[in-house]
Each structure stands twice: as structure tokens, then as C-alpha cells.
Amino acid sequence: MLAEVGLGALLLAFAAAFYALLAAVGAGLRNRDDWLLSARNAALLTFPLLLCSASALLLALLNGHCQISYVWSVTDPTTPSFYRFTALWGSQQGSLLFWSLLLSLYCFSAILLSWREHRRLMPGVIAVTMATLAFFLALSLLLENPFERFWLAADGTVLRDVFIPAGARAPDLERLAATANGLNPLLRHFGMIIHPPMLYLGFTGFVIPFAFALAALASGDLSAAWIRATRRWTLLAWMFLGLGLLLGGRWAYDVLGWGGYWGWDPVENAALLPWLTGTAFLHSVLIQEKRGMLRLWNMLLVIFAFSAVLFGTFATRSGLIESVHSFARSDIGFPLFAFWSVMTLVALGLTLWRQRQGLLRDERAFAGLLGRESLFVLNNIVFAALFIAIFWGSFGAPLVSEVLLDAPITLGVDYYRQVTPPLFALLFLMMGLAPLAAWGNSSLRRMGAGLRAPLLLTMPLLALLALAGMRTPVALLAYGLVTLAGMVALVEIVRGARARVRAWGEAWPQALRALFSRNRGRYGGYVVHLGVTVIGIGVIGSTLFQAETQRTLARGESLTLQNYELRYEGFSQALASDGRLLRVAAVTLSREGREIATLRPRIDVFPQQPMTIAGIHSSAENDVYVLLTGHSETGARATFRLTINPLINFVWWGGLLLLAGTLIAAWPHGASVAARRQDSALQEAQA
């Protein structure tokens, strides 16, 4: 029954999306308001329908309806309820449905919230969002149907089909359950309940700015309206994608057992590319809002951000890349590639057409090379260069060398460590300088004056680091740039609050609250800069100063790394309730002769594969990360890999600051909410 309900709702959602697409295109071409209203209603209907469909699949997962082949492939009778929930996005079919559900949620919210204010853009917005949704729903219906079931043919063969084949019957459910696969061990982690939804919320969210941009291009209304309508959506999508990336890093750190959080894997990079483009857009859009400049560039950034989302989806789901993060090889590769190409080419074609008509011309002329506009342009160029370098390393070089030179290559961490650091250094430099430059024009003297306080705060920190023994010039330069960028943000916040304290005699907490509530975008942005600074401190520390050693120890023996000593105490084996065999080592960690922790690194042996779960002693200073990489039959001898990751927790703490800053920046301004309420009341009174 659940399969029928889920499939029916999925079919209806596709029909509604397709109808909304046609009606919206018709409404746009013939200027028919009644068609537009009908398109809107159909588009709004897709969300509750997909919620119904996803709920049916979730119920089937929770209740073990393993006649549905998706349920059979991602759960088994021992799977705990928690992981049955995460199994909704644990494999291709379920995650595609979940993807469509989130996409429809964005469409639902954006159409409802922007309906009155941006009515002129609505035909285009509905057409683009519904075309995207209809495409993904078609993939679910035709190629990766999550409601496909097992059937037993008359001759005893097991068939997989959405509908019951002639002469077939339902198989014995108990026998089916006994052969069920269970969830991929890599996905049995608390982080998996948050990481994929965040990532998908980030990916799907970029459809809204893309839809508004295309609607603006199609309608010819290339005023700042589409920018105003989409900035907050971009910020939201950007925040979710950033959180998804950070949570993915944490998952890799905890589950993949290699002591790091970012391996420059092509699938990780595929998610980073739209985030980089989104970051560039969030900066350059300010120039369009405030100065009416970079209109063509902003249009291209929005297009490339969504194009990168579609390409990343194609790369991850088609089997183009083999990775721990990607889905298995699938038939959806070609349709996804075709959809990505068509959407990108149509968007670029429309942009070129409007550019030739002069509709994307800047409104204002440039005022000076040291103005904030110029620094933002430079910042965007660096983002573009970073995008190119990462895209080239992940997809370009491997494809070109294999197709043209018949020599398959892999570009790994070595490549990214050679190419990306200068670009990241430039980005931090821009992050420090741009807030000090004024719109229009600025002078070196003004910027120098602005830099004085941040520099005075940065220099003693660097001196302290040098005195503490850090003599690597690269590390000092990196910490100098990162800290300077953070200090600029901090000083700007203090400067703004002090102005209020001096002018109005406000207390500091009150001044800070007022400062943030009066200009959320600017000061939220500074908090984001602080978050990025803290992440930068963590990345530099854990990359440049990571220390590692590996040794095989007999019980009672120990190994030493820096001022830490690890002693092997004992070994045990146990069977967990979900069927995995746990091989656990007990080790004592001491620092300078003092015992500080007992850790239990372990190997979880699943039927599919073993997993190495680290024992971690965490502090602000560093993480001591212990892996059990092997052992003798009885556990008399075991091999340990000990890694010290300095400052790694700054990466996660910076993520929290980034989240806080984005929420501040995206939060609706109190005054505008009140104004909107007044407007609505006025409209109702007039009606």
C-alpha cells in the first residue's frame, strides 16, 4: 500500500510540475494572468505531494517493507530506527526523491514569498524551477524509481518492477528480509543525519537565484529587482552548502579513518565549486546593489553557480567518479549531462542576447582603483582562478589526459597543495583590505589608517608564535594574512560600536546589539569573515604542523610522538546488536609522563567491509587521533597510527561562527518586516 501511495504522489507531483511549466510559459508568452495563477497553484501543489511520497518511503523504511527494493537494499532487520531514517538518502533512488522534495520546498517558499513583490518575474521563475523539478522527478519515475518492488514470477525467478508483472506474485517477505543488504557501513554515523540534508539544501537552494536570473533575462526586467529577490536565497543556499561541506569534513574525520577532513576528492570538490561561485556572487552583488555595476558578471556568476550544482550532481551520481562520497554507476548520467548542458547553454544564450541589447550595461562608471568595487573585482578574479584550478584538478586534467593523450592521471593532494595556497593567501589579503576601502574611490592613506589597528593587533600575535618556536616563514606569512583579515573584521565591529557609545552614550552590549540589528548584512558579513579566519587558523595548523607515526606494539609497549606517549593496554572483541564485530584496543595516552586519557580505537567488521574508527583525545590545542590499523589473531600485538592534528577544532568552531554570521546577515530586517505588514494591512483595507 505504501508503495502505491508513494508512487501515486510522485506521479501526481510530476504531472503538476509539468503542467505548471507549460502554464507558466504560456502565461509569460501570452500575458495571461489566469494561466499564471493556475501555474502557481500547480507549482505549490508539488511540495505537499512530494512530502506525501517521501513520507510513504520513510514509513516503508521504518517498518521494514522490504518488498520495495530500495528498502531491501539499504536496511535489514537489525538496522536501528535512527539509521532507517537516514537510509532515506542512503542510496541513489531515495536521495533523488529527497533532492526533489527539498527542491519543491524551495520553490514553494520562494513562489509564496515573492508572489506579490515580483509578479512580473513569476512566469520565468515558475517555468525554470518546475522544469528542473520535472526533470528530476522524471529521473525518479523512469530510471531510479524508489518504489520499485520485488515480484516472484510463475517460473520462480525474482523480478524487479514498479507494477506487478503478469502472472507474478509477491515474494515471501521473511525470506526477502533475511537476504536484505543493510545500510552502507560508511553511512552509519550520527553526522549522516545532518550532512546530506545540509548539502542538498545547499545544492537545491541555488535553483532560486538561477530561476530569478533567467526570469529577469527572459522578461527583460533587468533592474535590481531580481537581485533583491535572490540575495537572501543565495545566502541561505550558501550557508547550507558551507555547513554541508563542514559536516562532511567532520564525518570523514570520524568515519573514514585517515586523520584528515578534506582529501581534495573530486566529489568533495564538486560541492566546493558552487560554494566558491556563491561566495564570489555574494560579494559582487553588493556592487550591483550599491553602485549598479557588474551586472553582466553577476548574471554569469548565478548561472555558473547553478551550472556547477548540476555538474556536481552529474559527476557524483553518474559513476563518472569513483569515490567514497559518490553513488554507484547509474543510467541517469547521460540525461543529467544533457540537462546540465541545455540549462547552461540556454542561460548563456539569453545572457548574450540581453547583453547585445545593452540591458546588462553598468549604470555607473568606475571611480578609482582603490575603491571597494575594484577590490571586489580582484576578489572575484581570485575566486574564478580558484574555481578553475579545482575544476581542472578534479575533472579537466584527468579527462583531457585520458581522452586526448590516452594517459589516465590522478591529481591528488600534491597538486592542490601546489596550486591553491597562493590563491587562498590572496583571498585572505582581499578579505583584509576590501572592508577598509570606501565605495567609489579610496586612497592609500585612508586604507593605511584603517590597517593600523589590525596590524598592531596582528604583529604581537606573530611575535608570540615566533617566540613559541614557529620559525617556518610560510606558516608565519599564512598566519599573518589570516589573522590580519580577522582583525580587520573585529576592529570594524568595535569601531562601529564605539561610534555609538561615544555619540549616544549607549552601553557596549546595547551598542553592539543596535549595530548588528541596524546593518545585519554588513556586520553579519564581518562575523562570517571572523568564522573564515578561525577556520583558516585551524586549516593552517592541522595541515602544516600535523605529525604522524605508526608502529606495531606488544601489550605493555608504547610509542612516542612529540611529547605524547601511547601505551597498548589490551584487546577485546564483541558482537554489536546490529551484527557488526567490534575489535577494540585499549590504549593509555600520556603527556610528559602524566596520564591524560584512555582511548579505544577500534575496527568495526561489517559483512560488506571493515571500518576503522579512531580514538580521539580532543582539546583546544590539538586532537590526538589514534587508529588501530591491524592486530594479530589474539591481539597480543597491534599496529597503531598516532596522528597529532594541531588546532583542528578551530575548523569546527569557525563553522559555528560562519553559521551565526550568515544567520545575522540573512535575518529579515525588523523595519522591512514591519513595513511589509503595514503594506499588507493597507492592501487588505483597500480590498
Q: Which of residues 488-517 bind other proteins (CB under 8 A)?
A: 496, 499-500, 503-504
Nearer to other proteins, 191 or 257 (CB): 257
Contact with other proteins (CB under 8 A) among 374, 533, 622, 649: 374
Residue 561 grid cell: 610522538
Q: Which of residues 424-443 bind other proteins (CB under 8 A)?
A: 438-442
Nearer to other proteins, 202 or 496 (CB): 496
Report yes or no: 11 and 141 within 8 Å, Cβ to Cβ: yes
Rounded to a whole number of angstroms, the minimum distance from the CB of residue 412 to other proteins is: 3
Stretch that binds other proteins, among 175-183, 199-207, 273-281, 364-372 (CB under 8 A): 364-372
Helix (H) or strand (E) holding 389: helix 372-391
Report yes or no: 421 and 451 within 8 Å, Cβ to Cβ: no
Residue whose C-alpha cell is 568495526: 604
Contact with other proteins (CB under 8 A) among 228, 498, 513, 522: 522
Nearer to other proteins, 265 or 623 (CB): 265
Strands of the sheet with 547-554, listed across from one edge = 547-554, 637-646, 622-631, 615-618
Q: Which of residues 290-349 bind other proteins (CB under 8 A)?
A: 290, 297, 321-324
Stretch that binds other proteins, among 159-167, 271-279, 408-416, 526-534 (CB under 8 A): 408-416
Strand 637-646 to strand 622-631: parallel, antiparallel, or no bridges (unpaired)?
Answer: antiparallel
- Cα 192 to Cα 115: distance, rounded to the nearest angstrom: 35
Q: Which of residues 441-460 bind other proteins (CB under 8 A)?
A: 441-442
Phi, psi of 438 (to 5 degrees): -90, 160
Measured on CA atoms in the order 630, 631, 637, 642, is the torsion positive or negative?
positive
Residue 51 zone, left/alpha/beta (φ > 0; ψ -120 to 50; rest) = alpha
Q: Would you call 124 helix, strand, or coil by DSSP?
A: helix
Nearest to 214 by CA among 84, 334, 350, 319: 350
Q: Which of residues 531-560 bind other proteins (CB under 8 A)?
A: 548-552
Degrees (nearest 5) of the Cα angle 613, 615, 617? 145
Residue 537 Cα distances to 192, 477, 481, 486, 624, angstroms: 26, 12, 10, 10, 18
Side chain identity at residue 62, one-letter code: L
Contact with other proteins (CB under 8 A) among 388, 462, 465, 597: 388
Q: Does 401 bind other proteins (CB under 8 A)?
A: yes
- Cα 165 to Cα 156: distance, rounded to the nearest angstrom: 13
Longest alpha-carbon distance in the chain: 88
Contact with other proteins (CB under 8 A) among 384, 451, 644, 651: 384
The site for other proteins, by CB under 8 A, has a size of: 71
- Cα 311 to Cα 257: distance, rounded to the nearest angstrom: 28
Nearer to other proteins, 607 or 610 (CB): 610
Q: Does 369 bind other proteins (CB under 8 A)?
A: yes
Nearer to other proteins, 405 or 468 (CB): 405
Side chain identity at residue 411, one-letter code: L
Stretch that binds other proteins, among 16-24, 259-267, 277-285, 343-351 (CB under 8 A): 259-267
Stretch that binds other proteins, among 22-30, 173-181, 352-360, 393-401 (CB under 8 A): 393-401
Side chain identity at residue 215, one-letter code: A
Nearer to other proteins, 83 or 516 (CB): 516
Stretch that binds other proteins, among 68-76, 162-170, 237-245, 388-396 (CB under 8 A): 388-396
- Can you give 507-543 as a three-state secondary structure string? CHHHHHHHHHHHCHHHHHHHHHHHHHHHHHHHHHHHH
Contact with other proteins (CB under 8 A) among 167, 349, 412, 570: 412
Q: How many Cα atoms sit within 13 Å of 31 on the Cβ side?
A: 1
- Cα 660 to Cα 667: distance, rounded to the nearest angstrom: 10
Cβ-based neighbours of 60, under 8 Å, separated by 6 or more: 2, 3, 6, 68, 71
Q: Which of residues 624-653 bind other proteins (CB under 8 A)?
A: 629-630, 639, 641
Rounded to a whole number of angstroms, the minimum distance from the CB of residue 295 to other proteins is: 12
- Cα 312 to Cα 323: distance, rounded to the nearest angstrom: 13
Contact with other proteins (CB under 8 A) among 6, 393, 646, 655: 393
Side chain identity at residue 251, one-letter code: W
Contact with other proteins (CB under 8 A) among 224, 367, 455, 476: 367
Stretch that binds other proteins, among 21-29, 159-167, 363-371, 462-470 (CB under 8 A): 363-371
Q: Does 407 bind other proteins (CB under 8 A)?
A: yes
Nearer to other proteins, 184 or 639 (CB): 639
Rounded to a whole number of angstroms, the minimum distance from the CB of residue 413 to other proteins is: 6
Nearer to other proteins, 116 or 364 (CB): 364
Contact with other proteins (CB under 8 A) among 178, 352, 381, 575: 381
Contact with other proteins (CB under 8 A) among 171, 396, 421, 635: 396
Stretch that binds other proteins, among 3-11, 32-40, 83-91, 415-423 (CB under 8 A): 415-423
- Cα 453 to Cα 493: distance, rounded to the nearest angstrom: 12
Stretch that binds other proteins, among 16-24, 273-281, 372-380, 679-687 (CB under 8 A): 372-380
Q: Which of residues 572-611 bind other proteins (CB under 8 A)?
A: 610
Nearer to other proteins, 49 or 642 (CB): 642
Side chain identity at residue 530, one-letter code: L
Nearer to other proteins, 525 or 541 (CB): 525
